[in-house]
């Protein structure tokens, strides 16, 4: 009976390989998603991770889509900037890595800023790169849009990532409570409908409005996001934007 238990395929532990067998298992890369509201330091952290990786002699690619600067770069509000590859929704991220290989260059890791703007298919491609060719992938982005609904790219990252890491920098609502809702504000009013993607770092006109209005973003706690309360003194335009 004891020997039968040891070989029983229904045993919960029977599928776990012995230590010696595990050593023969190929190493896989990791897919990590660091997320948080605007102004919590995601882009700064992305550049710090790139710096740390490069110091160890690793070679990486920096990818971004819709950086607030409007340029193909990753920018931090504390003044750090690095050039990056602009990734549109129709780009196959695996092809970017293959192109580097074709040039005889290594790709050990990927840094992806503004990862909320990835398509679900692109997130699947990142998972494939991690699993099949041992590329470590570090994604940084916002979880929810101005309606408090998850971006499609962020949702897929929550489904697939090996590690989900909230960025541990407090962002406060005007009332002093922790803020995690990214309110879109036009002329002092919280907007509840519109295009999901609208990136701004300073005032920006909404051409469809009459007369043209400006838009900015402000982080709020849940209560003040729900009621659309921007505080006793509405923050200056351009105070915050997607990070």
Please give the positions annotated as active site: 114
Q: What is the pLDDT of residues 97-139, one digit of tens each?
A: 999 999 999 999 999 999 999 999 999 999 999 999 999 999 9
Q: What is the pLDDT of residues 134-162, one digit of tens each?
A: 999 999 999 998 889 999 999 999 999 99
- Count CA atoms within 13 Å of residue 62 on its CB side: 19
Q: What is the pLDDT of residue 81?
A: 80
**pLDDT at position 201, please?**
45
Instruction: Please check whether residue 36 is in contact with residue 154, taking contact to mean a CB–CB distance below 8 angstroms.
Output: no
**pLDDT tens digit sequence for 22-81:** 455 667 899 999 999 888 888 899 999 999 999 999 999 999 986 666 667 787 777 778
| Verdict on whether the full-model pTM lies above 0.85 | no
């Amino acid at each position: 009976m004891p020997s039968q238990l040891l070989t029983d395929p229904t045993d919960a532990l029977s599928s776990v390989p012995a230590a010696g067998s595990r050593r023969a298992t190929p190493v896989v890369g990791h897919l990590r998603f660091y997320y948080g509201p605007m102004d919590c330091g995601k882009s700064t952290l992305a550049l710090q991770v790139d710096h740390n990786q490069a110091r160890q002699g690793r070679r990486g690619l920096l990818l971004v889509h819709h950086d607030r600067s409007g340029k193909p770069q990753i920018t931090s509000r504390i003044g750090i900037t690095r050039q990056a590859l602009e990734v549109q929704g129709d780009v196959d991220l695996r092809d970017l890595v293959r192109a580097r290989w074709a040039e005889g260059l290594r790709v050990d890791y990927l840094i992806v800023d503004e990862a909320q703007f990835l398509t679900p298919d692109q997130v699947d491609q990142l998972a494939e790169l991690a699993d099949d060719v041992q590329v470590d992938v570090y994604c940084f982005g916002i979880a929810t849009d101005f309606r408090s609904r998850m971006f499609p790219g962020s949702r897929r990252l929550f489904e697939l990532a090996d590690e989900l890491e909230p960025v541990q920098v407090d962002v406060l609502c005007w009332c002093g409570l922790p803020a995690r809702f990214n309110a879109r504000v036009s002329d002092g009013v919280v907007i509840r409908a519109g295009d999901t993607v609208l990136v701004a770092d300073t005032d920006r006109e909404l051409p469809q409005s009459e007369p043209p209005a400006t838009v900015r973003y402000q982080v709020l706690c849940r209560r003040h996001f729900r009621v659309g309360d921007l505080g006793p003194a509405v923050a200056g335009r351009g105070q915050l934007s997607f990070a």
